[in-house]
Structure 1
């Protein structure tokens, strides 16, 4: 695992170097060097506030299943989960079960309930990408006299939204199909797992998998019925996302330029496509998409856009990794499992 992480970050470093090299070393560093540190510091504060509100989504959903976990502990576990997501390739998708395991060590609920909570919270925290992204796209279309040629983006983005919506609809309404698919996949790998660990193979037996899925969906149903708590969680998610976007606006101000809030909504929402790059936290890919979109929709120079993208990621990505690593270490040292 350590070797894979090192290789992942090495690949991300090469991708970032190539991006800056392609734009121009001197131009990018000159643009970044002109940043006002006092204004830029506010971007770190905004990114930190984002994580607090996103952790509140977890807190409200945990309350639905009857867990009275202290807010500070929820924040520490949330940041630990973000650390796991950001240091592994495709961690946004694959880290959920591991995060649920960490959460289950500090709550009295079953693993399935905590997994359902993590999945539900992740879904609610991703909804603002679409709502704010839509607002940003409308602002962009209405405010531009001539739309730039974005090529496949005009097709890829709606298709991606439709695909995610279709998968969620199948996951929620066709539970029998999901169950058969999960049982089939685990059945296919059970024999291979048995060579490594018989105990692990028993844990993914057909009966165990069906029981876990039943508990998972039971918790999802419970969460969906508490509309007041879900509504509060949705509000927290949108406030959190606003503070995730705000550093782009602040970084631009720090560099002596301006990006309208509506366009900041759009570029941050589309930057999510950068996570498709199989590198930790989408490193390199997010910066490339973000810089490219800033250039296309605002008309800023590639050097300035790249400087904004890199400085933004220092607040939204690297700060989260640092805080998440510290929280992970503190949880390991404190040893407070329920």
Structure 2
């Protein structure tokens, strides 16, 4: 794992260096050097507030399934989870089971219940990417007197949202299909795993997969029935996402320029595409998408847009890694001394 992390961050560093080199070292550093530090400091505060509200989504859903965990402990576990997501390639997708395992160490619920809670909370925290992103897209289309020629962009974004929505509906309503699919995948995986460890292979037997999936859906059903708590969690998620977006607006102000809030909604929502890059936290890819979108939609120079993207990621990504690493270490120490 240490070797893979080293390779991942080395690749990410190279990607970032290539991005800055392509735009121009002197221009990017000159733009970043003009930042007002007092204003820029507010971006770190906003990013921190974002994580607090996102962890409140977890707290609310844990309360639904009957788990009483202090908000401070949930925040520490949440930041540990964000650390796991951000230091591994495709961690946004693959880190869920690991985060659920960490959470299970501090709750009395079954692992499947904690996994369902993590997945539900992640889903609610991702909903604002589409709601705020949709608002930003409409703002951009309505406010721009002359739209740039983006070709299929105007069709691709609504189509992407529709496809994701259809997949979620199928996952929820066609549980038999989901179960058969996962059982089939597990069967193929089990044959390979059995060559290494029979004990591990038994954990992904057909019955084990069915039992875990049943517990998973049972928790999802429980969460979905408490509409008031889910509604409150959705509000928390949207407030958290607003503070995730706000640093882009603040960083632009710190550099003496201006990005409309509607456009900031759109570029942060689209920055999620950068996580397709197989590097930790989408490093390099997210910065590239942000810089390109800011330059395209706002008309800023590539150097200024790149400076905004890099300074923004210092608040939203690197600060989260630092806090998450500290929380992970503190949880590890407390578990060893318990």
Structures share fold, TM-score greater than 0.5: yes
- Which residue of 2 is the match for residue 113 of structure 1? 113
SS in 1 for 2:195: helix
More off after superposition, 11-20 vs 150-159: 150-159
2:65 corresponds to 1:65? yes
Q: Counterparts in 2 of 1:150-169, with a 5 A limit?
A: 150-169=150-169
Matched, 1:263 2:263: yes
Task: Give per-residue Cα distances to partners, 1:178-217, cap 9 Å, x unaligned.
Answer: 0000011011111211222222111111111101100000
Q: Distance in 2 between matches of 1:170 and 1:337?
A: 45
Secondary structure of 2:103's partner?
helix
Shift in Å, 1:313 = 0.2
C-alpha contact 1:107 1:337 (8 A) present in aligned 2: no
1:179-258 matched pairs, under 5 angstroms: 179-258=179-258
Deviation of the 1:155 alpha carbon: 3.2
Report the number of matched residues: 338
Q: Does 1:335 align with 2:335?
A: yes
> For residue 5 of structure 2, what is the aligned residue in structure 1?
5
| 2:80 alignment counterpart | 80
Instruction: Please give the alpha-carbon distance, in whole angstroms, between the structure 2 residues aligned to 1:123 and 1:337.
Output: 34
Partners of 1:199 and 1:328 in 2: how far apart? Answer: 28
What SS does structure 2 have at the residue aligned with 1:178? helix
Helix, strand or coil: the match of 1:188?
A: helix
Q: TM-score, normalised by structure 2?
A: 0.98
Determine whether 1:17 maps to 2:28.
no
Per the TM alignment, residue 150 of structure 1 is displaced from its structure 2 partner at its CA by 2.2
Q: Give the whole-Å Cα distance in 2 for the aligned partners of 1:143 and 1:307.
A: 25
Q: Does 1:279 align with 2:288?
A: no
> Which of 232-241 and 134-143 deviates more?
134-143
- Aligned residue for 1:124? 124
Aligned equivalents of 1:111 and 1:194: distance in 2?
Answer: 23
Equivalent-residue separation in structure 1 for 2:96 and 2:117 (angstroms): 10
- The residue number in structure 2 matching 1:90 is 90
* CA RMSD of superposed structures (Å): 1.2
Distance apart, 1:138 and its partner CA = 1.1
* C-alpha distance in 2 between matches for 1:60 and 1:225: 13
Cα deviation, 1:268-302, whole Å, max 9, x if unaligned, reads 01111111111111100000000000011111111
The match for 2:290 is 290
Task: Find the aligned partners of 1:337 and 1:148 in 2 and give their Cα distance.
Answer: 59
Do structure 1's residue 307 and structure 2's residue 307 form an aligned pair? yes
Matched residue, 1:178: 178
Residue 4 of structure 1 and its aligned partner are, at CA, apart by 1.2
Specify every segment of 5 or more residues in structure 1 that has no aligned partner in the other structure, as ranges.
none
2: CA distance, partners of 1:325 / 1:307: 26
After superposition, give the CA deviation of every residue in 1:128-168 in whole Å (9 maximum; x if it has no partner).
Answer: 00111111111111111100122343233223212211211
Q: Distance between the aligned counterparts of 2:330 and 2:100, measured in 1?
A: 18
SS in 2 for 1:263: helix
Per the alignment, residue 44 of structure 1 pairs with 44
Secondary structure of the structure 2 residue equivalent to 1:304: helix
Query: 2:66 and 2:294 mapped to 1: Cα distance?
Result: 44
Structure 1 residue aligned with 2:149: 149
Separation (CA, whole Å) in 2 of partners of 1:291 and 1:150: 16
Give the distance between the partners of 1:337 and 1:177, measured in 2 at CA.
45
Structure 1 residue 337: Cα displacement: 11
